[in-house]
Amino acid sequence: MNSITVVIPTKDRAPVLGRTLAALEAQQMGDAGIEVIVVDNGSSDDTVERVRRLAGGTEVPIVLIEHPDGGPAAARNTAAAAASGDVLLFLGDDTEPDGRGLLRAHLDLHAARPQDTYGVLGRIAWSPRSPVTPFMHWLENGGPQFHYFELEPGAVDAASYFYSSHASLKRSLFERVGGFDERFPGAAVEDTELGVRLADAGLELDYHPDLLVLHDHPTTPEQSLRRSVAVGRSAALYNRLRPDRPHPGVQPPRGVTWSAVRLAAPLIGALARLPLPGGVRERVWLAMTRAGYAQGYRLGPVEVAR
């Protein structure tokens, strides 16, 4: 294992993508091979022009692929099909490597475990570029965004923790399981669905919290609510596509509690914007998240035609 391809889907995120690419260019790789494939999902800003300029003047090969349709699942599959690396490292356009040894560390771990059923999960934490609000802190410490707080280093369940903003695996296994399901339209549940298939194929996902990327994506309760709706819709799609493989993270919202939360969604959304005392606000944020999920699930899936 001596080559790695970094896969990054992007859309309308030129400034933050530029910082991520700069951090990748600064990686210390020795004699190992590295390439970065950026797939643009139809940006309306100057993403394409910026990446083209970078691609012509960096020591690290940067490949730009324009793929305006299909969402991040299709974008990642397109990049993987063009990849030359033995190992695929999936990053977000807003997940900047912390330090210059991240890629080398991923590659060394794979070299030590060359079987194709070995993968690596790295950690994602908020970038210090922007203030981490109490809401953002809650999101990744008991809220719905990632669940690193409950993980110990070592083997973790790929079906639950394959986070496509910082995970690496052998290209051979990715191809063997068929890649991401392109019927998922957005960045929601598509990595869970792939993680299920990877787990069923025997992937051992090895969590290394020392491998860190910085997530430069400040988030408000309003933005998180919209994402919860999208997650609910994608959860409905997962359950339509995989009735044979129920997943605890995408269960249908049932029962009196779910109904009450969904009906109270407007009130909960208003409360979430108020300066509530600690303890109360977290319960309101959780109720808001559940209300959005229930609303999205009831709306049903937005499926990309294949």
Tokens of 166: 């910082």
How crowded is residue 98: how many other Cβ atoms within 10 Å of its Cβ? 18
Q: Tell me the per-residue pLDDT of 29-87, one tens digit each, with 9 for 90 and over.
A: 888 889 999 999 999 999 999 999 888 777 889 999 998 888 999 999 999 999 999 99
Asked if the model's pLDDT at residue 133 lies above 90, the reply is yes
Domains assigned to the chain = 3-215 (3.90.550.10), 221-299 (no CATH)
CA 92 to chain centre: 6
More confident residue, 271 or 150: 150
Which whole number is the average pLDDT over 99-105?
95
Tokens of 152: 């110990």
The DSSP letter of residue 120 is: E
Instruction: Please tell me the predicted confidence (pLDDT) of residue 205.
Output: 98
Which whole number is the average pLDDT over 2-9?
96
Q: How many whole angstroms separate alpha carbon 14 and alpha carbon 186?
A: 19
Instruction: Please tell me the predicted confidence (pLDDT) of residue 288.
Output: 84
The CA distances from residue 115 to 170, 201, 214, in Å, are: 8, 12, 29
Q: Quick check: 65 and 79 in contact, CB under 8 A?
A: yes
Asked if the model's pLDDT at residue 272 lies above 70, the reply is no
- Output the CA angle 224-276-298, nearest 5 degrees: 35
Instruction: Please tell me the predicted confidence (pLDDT) of residue 56.
Output: 73
Q: How many whole angstroms separate alpha carbon 186 and alpha carbon 275?
A: 31
Q: Quick check: 204 and 110 in contact, CB under 8 A?
A: no
Q: Where residue 285 falls among pLDDT bands split at 50, 70, 90?
A: confident
Q: How many whole angstroms separate alpha carbon 253 and alpha carbon 298?
A: 9
DSSP string across 14-35: HHHHHHHHHHHHT---TT-EEE
CA 81 to chain centre: 19
Q: How many whole angstroms separate alpha carbon 7 and alpha carbon 231?
A: 22
Bridge partners, 6 (sequence order) = 36, 89
Question: What's the CA dihedral at 248, 94, 237, 158 to 10 degrees?
Answer: -40
